């Protein structure tokens, strides 16, 4: 199955930081014809990618505000927001190929939409994501 088609039909992993989360079990939520997977353990981008791929899933690729809002609504509905009502998640976007040139590892497409947190991307721990 080709990667792009697989990316559209296979579950998508959203890795949430454990800070403030109460649940300790994995859950998936069907939203907009796709499954979003949430968890409560802390994980870096590389481990999130590996965890996701080992289960036949991809990290999410968000291309516009409508998709971002859809993901946020889905996660709010699932109860995976932390106690501060923050959403911390990994996307498949990274600049592993060339510093400052971000592409989605799940689709190979250039990242054209981003909504970085203040001070991001900061390449913390040489994360490249």
Place of tokens 């932390």: 82
CATH number of residue 106's parent domain: 3.10.100
Domain total in the chain: 1
pLDDT digit string, tens, across residues 27-51: 455 566 666 666 667 788 899 899 8
List the Cα angle 78/117/34 in 5-degree steps. 35
Angular region, 128: left φ>0, alpha ψ -120 to 50, beta rest: left
CB neighbour class for 53 (10 Å; exposed up to 12, middle 13-18, buried from 19): middle
Which domain covers residue 16, as residue numbers?
A: 3-126
* Cis preceding-peptide flag for 126 (omega within 30 of 0): no
Supply the pTM of this predicted model: 0.63
Intra-chain end-to-end CA distance of the chain, in Å: 27
For residue range 1-10, list pLDDT tens digits in order: 444 433 333 3
């Amino acid at each position: 199955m080709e990667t792009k088609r697989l990316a559209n039909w296979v579950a998508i992993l959203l890795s949430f930081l454990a800070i403030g989360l109460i649940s300790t079990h994995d859950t998936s939520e069907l939203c907009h014809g796709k499954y979003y997977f949430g968890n409560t353990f802390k994980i870096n981008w590389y481990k999130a990618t590996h965890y996701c791929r080992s289960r036949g899933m991809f990290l999410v690729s968000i291309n516009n505000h409508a998709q971002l809002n859809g993901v946020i609504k889905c996660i709010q509905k699932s109860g995976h927001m932390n106690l501060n009502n923050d959403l911390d998640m990994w996307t498949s976007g990274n600049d592993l190929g060339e510093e400052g040139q971000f592409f989605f590892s799940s689709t190979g497409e250039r990242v054209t939409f981003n909504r970085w947190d203040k001070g991001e991307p900061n390449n913390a721990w040489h994360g490249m994501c």
